[in-house]
Structure 1
């Protein structure tokens, strides 16, 4: 059964066209991803389907009433001081209203000492109705849902507006879990979730008995949940079966097929143009040679007929000509680090850190970061990941212990909150403040970062979160840091831009420390993992994210093992340099080189 049928809708925002000619259907039981670049109008399309603003053209058919819909909204605004638990309970409006009436009547009865018979009768009627509708069962289900989303009971009665981004997302998910509506509409459901909730959400969406229509930029989540991808563009949308990986494969096949067809048509077009030119020349020559001879003039006209036939073929070719997809603007970045010949960029010894009088987030913590390290920091929300990054960046000081940085270590820090940007400056002015930066150079670089033309005069404070992310990367681009400390660097970027950032980070010559919920990013970049959990000792995994996912996850490196691993990396680096060095000038020097190589191999084997 078709739940939503959209036909030729068009939407403008402040007079600017977002999309047009958009038509699609969503059938019962599907899990459909709405996919597209930032700014294309994905959230606007969802909001329009929810009836929050009209479309300029087109029609939308619904086969489900609004009460059968469930919505997770990143921009949800609740004006009152409704608590987290009350928000979940409000998923059943009738039961929630009865509960409020019972509470009000109970208070009035207490005021009258139970002597008001009318109040007693009304209380009895409301109570009976509440029992008939299993109101107390609904309350138990709401509390159970909050528990399954790992929300502590101490949070349940806090105002929803005071909750963190991750807590708000989990409260909304708890409300959906309790209701189990037939259609879920989810806008970025994975934002701000910790790893455990992430896994739970994947399993829940994958096994959901209803229909799911959602927007997400997390490729792993898409791969594990989507049954179809709906690609939204300025002039319509296209549907692809399967998840993200299948979508990319199909797009690559389409691109190759179009390229072959385009080249074939271009060759055919060149042949037709050459034939037209040749027949035109032949006609002119034959016509001049025929003079007033009627027989020769008639013969010359044969070339005109052939010329017209070729021109008609060219018109048909142009009418059905294959056009290559228009290139969309892409982030072009290459991160450069200052030349650094030392090994240890930073060494952390026995540090402790706690907020106020609370329990320590980090206790007797040790870590060494070396050139070439790409460390991904994993753990649940509140485990201290962002705190560790701020300690490494020098924004916080440890309560005890020591953080030693090499004199040549230069740290580039990317803040998750994007709160270190000069919001009152324009994009261009923020670049012109850099030493030696000319206006021409700044405009060129901004074009590479997808800020063309007049966009460079936008105030940073007026930018979208995705645009602010790109501005923050500009600062890294010119910072020439040799240690990048990145806290959720791809949170607000679309998938295409994320992949560009991944390529730049993978080629970055310095050290990296990354906190992210994007598992594709970890798989593409990280070569070591640090696992943080509150109440447990930090664990270091000396391998990639894929190896971590495949191996026994309880593997732990002791401080001695961490030191041995670092020493082994140094020796392997030295061995690689010797193996690729040029031949020595004398035979004696060659023998010494070989002896050092043999000794290095023996030492590495012993350490292993």
Structure 2
């Protein structure tokens, strides 16, 4: 399109002429910007955005936010970007294993309300459990009292000539005093059974605590993992990426930053064949796992021995997915597929973990869990991400790409 609206959209999202002709050479971030531009161009009444910030650099996220502020239709947003959810959502639908709950306010407000609700439910359930214990103790007390009364009203221990004693026992039975204790036991038993049913109807509150530890990862015994002399990479349309001498030691943690289309993924693919490690010692997670690998990954999972499969499923669980769904699903979501690829490394001696936009497609608890896990990993890390908070915690060195030049340094 060449109308004024199209020109505004191209300018807003930084869309260049000819992108449609070289779609395959575009980065995932550039493709995402083009898709967003098309969505806003048609000015729909209802706009549904599913993880719109995936693959976007910091500048592109600001472009998206500006476009969303000017959109006055109905918006449905699925995202793990907390800042985006807080800025634009007036109510949030929280989906869990127990179902879906719509709460007013943005994500932070809804999450706080969710925690309050879970704490209240947990407190009430504990009170009901305490009441059931008290009722059972009372039932036990009444049973003992009834047994004692029954013992007093038994004639077995009386002398056969003790006619007065037998008369008193008969009088107690006739008057109903003997049955009173038994009736109290029966009444208390009914109360206990009613309270037990009440407690059974209250679902247990799961206050999930993510404690994912990568149970693999070791430091390589080699001197270094790779060393590249200064050089130049050719990107799309003949654009060069110049880089200085690059090297990675066995305990290095390096974060690669830069805008969309500047060559971060290309640099990773250039480095991988230059590694001194055996292929089985390297775990590489690209931005998107190709469709062709879906069946391969699921076949690898199915072929594992029970003990090995159990380790993989534990990681899947601790990353926030249901293992039974991963085992039974014919088509895994992108997030579940990434979790499965990462989890399969549990049975391998990984010495270098290379991840390109590792938080893409992961929900918020899973992102936090992955961050904690990588902080404890023994292997070297080479991470590409637009999430600076994620990189600052996990990496010491920073390779930043801008204006066609890669500069090495440390986080400030």
TM range (shorter): 0.7 to 0.9
Distance in structure 1 (CA, Å) of the matches to 2:32 and 2:277: 41
Aligned with 2:382: secondary structure?
Answer: strand
- TM-superposed CA distance for 1:453, in Å, is 5.8
Matches within 5 A, 1:38-53: none
Structure 2 residue runs of 5 or longer lacking an equivalent are 155-168
Structure 1 residue runs of 5 or longer lacking an equivalent are 1-84, 87-138, 398-403, 433-437, 549-608
Identify if the C-alpha distance between structure 1 residues 240 and 405 changes in structure 2 by more than 3 Å, giving closer, same or farther: same
Distance in structure 2 (CA, Å) of the matches to 1:239 and 1:260: 22
**RMSD over aligned Cα, in angstroms?**
3.9
Aligned with 2:229: secondary structure?
Answer: strand
Distance in structure 1 (CA, Å) of the matches to 2:25 and 2:397: 36
CA contact (8 A) 1:415 1:486 kept: yes
Structure 2 residue 370 is the aligned partner of structure 1 residue 490 = no
Identify if the C-alpha distance between structure 1 residues 182 and 520 changes in structure 2 by more than 3 Å, giving closer, same or farther: farther
Residue 258 of structure 1 aligns with which residue? 121
Matches within 5 A, 1:462-541: 462-519=331-388, 521-535=390-404, 537-540=405-408
Distance in structure 2 (CA, Å) of the matches to 1:331 and 1:428: 27
Distance in structure 1 (CA, Å) of the matches to 2:238 and 2:299: 43
Structure 2 residue 318 is the aligned partner of structure 1 residue 447 = no
> Of 5, 8, 15, which residue of structure 2 is paired with 1:144?
8
Identify if the C-alpha distance between structure 1 residues 258 and 186 changes in structure 2 by more than 3 Å, giving closer, same or farther: same
- TM-superposed CA distance for 1:270, in Å, is 1.1
CA contact (8 A) 1:232 1:238 kept: yes
Residue 170 of structure 2 aligns with which residue? 293
Q: Normalising by structure 1, report the TM-score.
A: 0.55
Q: Deviations over 1:291-328 (max 9, x none)?
A: 55343662344434543553454355345534323588
Matches within 5 A, 1:64-75: none
Identify if the C-alpha distance between structure 1 residues 445 and 366 changes in structure 2 by more than 3 Å, giving closer, same or farther: same
Identify if the C-alpha distance between structure 1 residues 443 and 479 changes in structure 2 by more than 3 Å, giving closer, same or farther: closer
Residue 282 of structure 1 aligns with which residue? 145
Residue 227 of structure 2 aligns with which residue? 347
Distance in structure 2 (CA, Å) of the matches to 1:336 and 1:356: 37
Residue 413 of structure 1 aligns with which residue? 284
How many residue pairs get matched?
390
Residue 379 of structure 1 aligns with which residue? 258
Distance in structure 1 (CA, Å) of the matches to 2:254 and 2:106: 29
Residue 410 of structure 2 aligns with which residue? 542
Distance in structure 2 (CA, Å) of the matches to 1:500 and 1:141: 43
Identify if the C-alpha distance between structure 1 residues 477 and 518 changes in structure 2 by more than 3 Å, giving closer, same or farther: farther
Q: Which moved more, 1:276-285 or 1:226-235?
A: 226-235
Residue 118 of structure 1 aligns with which residue? none
Distance in structure 2 (CA, Å) of the matches to 1:541 and 1:208: 40
CA contact (8 A) 1:337 1:509 kept: yes
Structure 2 residue 249 is the aligned partner of structure 1 residue 391 = no
CA contact (8 A) 2:301 2:344 kept: no
Aligned with 1:279: secondary structure?
Answer: helix
CA contact (8 A) 1:530 1:541 kept: yes
Distance in structure 2 (CA, Å) of the matches to 1:356 and 1:190: 23
Distance in structure 2 (CA, Å) of the matches to 1:160 and 1:339: 39
Residue 359 of structure 1 aligns with which residue? 239
- TM-superposed CA distance for 1:384, in Å, is 0.8
CA contact (8 A) 1:336 1:480 kept: yes
Distance in structure 2 (CA, Å) of the matches to 1:163 and 1:494: 26
Q: Which moved more, 1:195-204 or 1:332-341?
A: 332-341
Aligned with 1:481: secondary structure?
Answer: coil
Residue 195 of structure 1 aligns with which residue? 58
Distance in structure 1 (CA, Å) of the matches to 2:44 and 2:300: 50
Distance in structure 2 (CA, Å) of the matches to 1:300 and 1:201: 81
Q: Deviations over 1:535-562 (max 9, x none)?
A: 3x3244522xxxx6xxxxxxxxxxxxxx
Residue 90 of structure 2 aligns with which residue? 227
- Higher RCO (CA 8 Å, separation ≥ 6 residues): 2
